[in-house]
Amino acid sequence: MSRIAACLEACKASGRKAVVPYIVAGDPWREITVPAMHTLVAAGADIIELGVPFSDPMAEGPVIQLGHERALAHNVGMGDVLAMVAEFRQQDPNTPVVLMGYANPVEVMGYDAFAKAATTAGVDGVLTVDMPPEEAGDMNAVFREYQLDTIFLIAPTTTESRTKAICAMATGYIYYVSLKGVTGAGHIDTDEVKRKVDGIKASTSLPVCVGFGIKDGDSAAAIGQCADGVVVGSVLVNGMGESVGMATRDDEADPSVDPLAGKDRVALAEVVNARILSIVSEIAEGANR
């Protein structure tokens, strides 16, 4: 049984909803990521989704796009992300880590080389946002050789036949997108989410985690009524950016100048981690009301 499957089975056995926070590796600076991952766990995270910085994160709303930009400003790439996971694993052998990103960085490395490096680092699963299920056969085959779970998105607009096809390919869990559009947008129609989650569960025994639009304890509680897990991303990435005064884009800033230069990173890390603890603790409490 994979680390993801064991985690979600343990949550189910104890009557809990899994809490799945998302952060971008290297945001707001690279050295904060591993301590932030440990803070996520301390706050109640069951699984960590770690975003791989990418220059064109088309599925993301402006908040997470900015998180990618902040990470890329520190030249954080796939090799750095895998090194962060390996460092995290030195102290935490149990919490599943899912890399969430885009196909290009994986394809540049090659499926086999990436899968080998990811497994060695301690990655448990991969969610490739822009990889159509119809084209994912080769990738899935390689990842399964290395015991990497392959997680796919299902959207409100996904047809029943396509839902069945995705469920047949996925392992670990299904990520249901509760809203149309990009991350961080709109308000959740919980009745519609329940209807769609029930439809997904008719096609798979995998747990269904729901993300997009979960902003606080109340929205987590609403989603927790019908999902096996709740995913929180935009509000967390925004909170981390706000903590260091970088929650908005400064188009007039010199991109060659680090906006955190000369600042006390130790003090900033304390502020960032306190914000993470507050946000994720509220989500965890709400999801399990």
- Walk along the chain (289 residues) in steps of 10 and give the mean pLDDT of each run: 96 98 97 98 99 90 92 95 99 98 96 98 97 92 97 94 95 90 58 93 97 92 95 96 77 65 86 96 96
State residue 181's pLDDT score. 46
DSSP 165: H
Nearest to 36 by CA among 282, 275, 287: 275
Cβ atoms of 133 and 163 within 8 Å: the answer is: no
Q: Tell me the two tokens of residue 287.
A: 């999801």
d(C-alpha 75, C-alpha 98), whole Å: 21
Is residue 228 within 8 Å of 200, Cβ to Cβ?
Answer: no
Global pTM reads 0.94
pLDDT of 184 reads 46
pLDDT of residue 186: 52
Task: Check: CB of residue 287 under 8 Å from CB of residue 231.
Answer: no
* Rounded distance between C-alpha atoms, residue 286 and residue 277, angstroms: 14
Domain interval for residue 227: 3-287
Provide the CATH number for the domain around residue 97: 3.20.20.70
Residue-level pLDDT at 213: 86
- When divided into structural domains, the chain yields a total of 1
Exposure string (b/e) for 231-240, b if CB count within 10 Å is 16 or more? bbbbbbbbbb
- Residue 40 CB partners (closer than 8 Å, separation 6+): 21, 23, 48, 276, 280
Query: How high is the pLDDT of residue 209?
Result: 98
pLDDT at 216: 95
The CA distance from 92 to 148, in Å, is: 18
Name which of 53, 47, 51, 57 is nearest 21 in CA terms: 47
